[in-house]
Amino acid sequence: MKFLRHCIVIAGAALLASGSAVAQTTVADVKYEEAASVQGKPLLLNGAGIRYKAVFKVYTAGLYLEKKAQTPQDIQALKGPKRMRIVMLREIDSAELGKLFSRGMEDNMDRAAFSKLVPGVVRMSQIFSEHKKLLPGEEFMLDWIPGTGTVLTVKGQVQGEPFKEPEFFNALMGIWLGPQPADWKLKDALLGKAS
């Protein structure tokens, strides 16, 4: 009986220890926790992958949602908070990154819809320009917070006022999830379809 109690205590301790370890997904040595929180709301890692430019690894990206979704339409339909976390794998000129993002948004929208977002696109490009460079290991996040807007955080610092329009966040997501994504393999990875 004493031995049985001892085994139960050991098993219980092992369960507690394993439960306290946070599950992670590692992409190019960058760890993405399986769960995150935006404004106190729990989110799940939908998928994570690498953005390649030719043969070079540029950054990793992880998409967090209130529940798993496998299509851009399902992601857009979710009403809760969302997060895109991007971690640089190589040094990049921030102004160039801002330009690439605005081009990625434009490539995945009709001209009239994009023209309505130009003030936000210009402001986002200015924010990135102010940072000069992003170095390997540095990160930024795009958080959609219902009722607040898109919050851009660069190197742990929130950058100015939120971008209020829901269309702005959806346009940003189009860079990675739209019909002309920056990287098709990354799109599949973010949608949880990567092999």
- How do the domains of the chain map onto residue ranges? 35-190
CATH code of domain 35-190: 3.50.70.10
- Contact in structure between 98 and 151 (CB atoms under 8 Å): no
**What is the C-alpha separation between 113 and 116, in angstroms, rounded?**
6
> 3-state SS of the chain: helix, strand, coil percent to 5?
40, 30, 30
Contacting residues for 148 by C-beta, under 8 A, at least 6 apart: 39, 162
Q: What confidence score (pLDDT) does residue 112 get?
A: 93
Q: What confidence score (pLDDT) does residue 22 get?
A: 59
pLDDT tens, N- to C-terminus, the chain (195 residues): 544 444 343 444 343 344 445 588 999 999 999 999 999 999 999 999 999 988 899 999 999 999 999 999 999 999 999 999 999 999 999 888 888 889 999 999 999 999 999 999 999 989 988 888 999 999 999 999 999 999 999 999 999 999 998 899 999 999 999 999 999 999 999 999 865
